[in-house]
Amino acid sequence: MQKRKLGNSNLEVSAIGLGCMGMSFSYGPPKDKEEMTSLLRTAVERGITFFDTAEIYGPFTNEELVGDALSPLRDQVVIATKFGFDTRIDPRGTSGAPRLNSRPEHIKQVAEASLKRLKIDVIDLFYQHRVDPEVPIEDVAGAVKALIQEGKVRHFGLSEAGVQTIRRAHAVQPVTALQSEYSLWWRRPEAEILPTLEELGIGLVPYSPLGKGFLTGKIDADATFDSSDFRSTLPRFTPDALKANHALVDLLGKIAARKHATAAQIALAWLLAQKPWIVPIPGTTKLHRLDENIGAVAVDLTPDDLGEIATAAAQIAVQGDRYPERLERMTGR
């Protein structure tokens, strides 16, 4: 497995990481713990060193799964987790978006609890999950800086933050990575976020690099989602939107056939080709999908391939918002 460094930091990780959320949360009922433990350990055997979780995934159960599975392999892995939500509020509740809480004292409490659940002595990368408009980002960065000085955290990250927030945080404690959605069907980061990250020497960790499964080509307009699958609430996953957006999957399939690859591998290879400091974290609960995603690292997209994708993608207007309004409001702050 190739390695990459996140921005100007010394944090080196596998070129593709593993998003662990779906093993416990958001994509239907939690998966079997023994099967997921085996998958996580197999990922390490296959060369993946970068694993992403958060206290809100469950809450808590995903961190516990990752901790139990990876603690015997601690010296081989980089573990990222997140703070920023009030876990006393059900994150899957229908009353509205989860309540944010990035008060410095809460950040410290989350760090201590996450260390125990993950069975580690230091959190490799600690992200603010969503920007809290009630807490100055300087206070948030200062709280993580204190944890770094105490030896409980190694690197500071942000998720779905806006440009000014990134700059303000970085001035207090250097930001190692920004985790935000980025893929062929969500390219908004290209306008302002990517140039800012390049200027400041910050890595990008794209989540949902396969469009929450859509870019694999395995979801068509007739797809239905259980109420425990959060895609059932997303405007982009309505039948009309799925049908309209299939042109993007057709494009990936065309390139994939020529490259003897899959649509998912082309989507991931496209991300890897954008910048050397981009490390996508596709999630999966299946071994054959894990192997497929890892195979994307070996797919070589030439400048002509990338130009063809860019030209064709520019003619495809993706339909549907990526989140309901209440969740979209929590991004880009």
Q: Which residues are catalytic?
A: 57
Phi–psi pair at 125, nearest 5 degrees = -145, 120
